[in-house]
Amino acid sequence: MRKKLAAGNWKMNGSAALLDELANLATQQDADAPQVIICPPSPLLIPAVAATQTSAVQIGGQDCHSAQTGAHTGDVSAQMVKDTGASAVIVGHSERRADHAETNADIRAKVQAAWAANLLPILCIGESEAERIGPNTLAIIAAQLDASMPDGATGDTLVIAYEPIWAIGTGRVPTMDQIIETHDMIRAELTKRFGAEGDKFRILYGGSVKPNNAAEIFTAKNVDGALVGGASLKAADFQPIIDALQAS
């Protein structure tokens, strides 16, 4: 059984008030609940860890550099993220790939940096709208997965998030057939590369997950949870998504 996971990506949003909401969410978790990881911006990691200290909610970063230290103004290393008390880190989000020209090779190095710091990387992949319309959608996603994922990954040490770029922040979601087909393909690729271990990786869906569509998305057998942006910014939106995941 793969442990279900609801991850919240706050992106460049967040405030002390939002941390109060987070603390509120934290009090609603119980032992049988899905794993919940909230990823606030770097300056909020320490207060977020403090706000969730007595709960099962875990905190993650949104990115890390692949190097341990150095002349990289504005960046943070995986160990720095770990030192805040965080336990996970998103790597390869499409906004990072676009805004900071991150390549699959960069992202593979970030996964390895996350491992070296004992963080759980949540590795994002996903196609553009043109790639979704084109004939090679699944092959493009498979190639991205293959190139971003280092050898030695296991179900315990890496989570995959499939996020179609055109679905992020747009209110548009793929059809259930598209979600099922893509997640099944990712599972097949993982099994091809990692053998029986391939069945142990968690594959999250991300892109406009909301309280009103979460339950349907979670019916897909290879959807093990969600990476949630906008709807993770309010406990009133995020909690029903967590509840839908628990009920799935």
Catalytic residues: 93, 163
* Residue of 223, 228, 244, 245 that binds ligand PGA (CB under 6 A): 228
HEC secondary structure over 107-127: HHHHHHHHHHCCCEEEEEECC
14 binds ligand PGA, rule: CB under 6 A: no
Coil, helix or strand at residue 36: strand
Helix (H) or strand (E) holding 142: helix 137-148
Spatial CB neighbours of 144, under 8 Å, sequence gap ≥ 6: 104, 125, 126
Q: Which is nearer to ligand PGA, 119 or 228 (CB)?
A: 228
Is residue 164 within the footprint of ligand PGA (CB under 6 A)? no
Query: Treating both helix axes as pointing N-terminal to C-terminal, what angle do 176-194 and 137-148 enclose, rounded to 10 degrees?
Result: 40
Minimum separation from the CB atom of position 20 to ligand PGA (A): 21
Q: Which is nearer to ligand PGA, 97 or 187 (CB)?
A: 97
Binding ligand PGA (rule: CB under 6 A), the pick from 111, 222, 229, 237 is 229
Q: Of the listed pieces 19-27, 50-58, 72-80, 221-229, which binds ligand PGA according to CB under 6 A?
A: 221-229
**How many residues contact ligand PGA, by CB under 6 A?**
13
* 227 counts as binding ligand PGA under rule CB under 6 A: yes
What is the rounded distance in angstroms from the CA atom of residue 4 to the CA atom of residue 219?
Answer: 12
DSSP-assigned beta bridge partners for residue 120: 88
Footprint on this chain of ligand PGA (rule: CB under 6 A): 9, 163, 168-169, 206-209, 227-231
